[in-house]
Amino acid sequence: MPTLEKSHEYSHFQQMCDILLEQEKIRFAGLINSMGKLVAGGIREGLVPLEDEAERQKMYMELALRVSMRKDFDYTLGPVKFSASRREKALVMSFPINNNVLLISAEPEVDIEETANKVIKIIGTRP
């Protein structure tokens, strides 16, 4: 069971994900913890996920591991601001936040820099 402090933090991230999901082309906004679990957010209401539940769980765990491994290079290259993959069916972006990662999935045609800047502006209001 999360502590009150963690509960409050995740509540804030849920609100942040809700704001991100109001953006027209964003399909998914979720906070993934260091163990690869979705702790806030989800898919835009009314959309069908592109992956099944097992595939999503696998993606979350892989993302948490990848973000953790990238920290090894922070001392030489600086911290990661965001990562993006343009796929045929979606643009997938990740934004490290402390020991968590914000995962964003958007329609494939969106502009990466413009979307990243919007997300960074929104998450800049985090506690």
What residue type is 18 in one-letter code?
D
Question: Could you tell me the pTM of the whole model?
Answer: 0.85
CATH code of the domain containing 84? 3.30.450.30
Structural domain span for residue 43:
4-123
Q: Count of domains in the chain?
A: 1
Q: Which of 20, 24, 66, 60 is CA-nearest to residue 39?
A: 60
pLDDT 10s digits, 51-83: 888 888 888 999 898 888 888 888 899 999 999
Contacts with 122 (C-beta within 8 Å, 6 or more apart), sequence order:
16, 19, 20
Q: pLDDT digit string (tens) for 103-117?
A: 999 999 999 999 999
Contact 107, 25 (CB under 8 A): yes
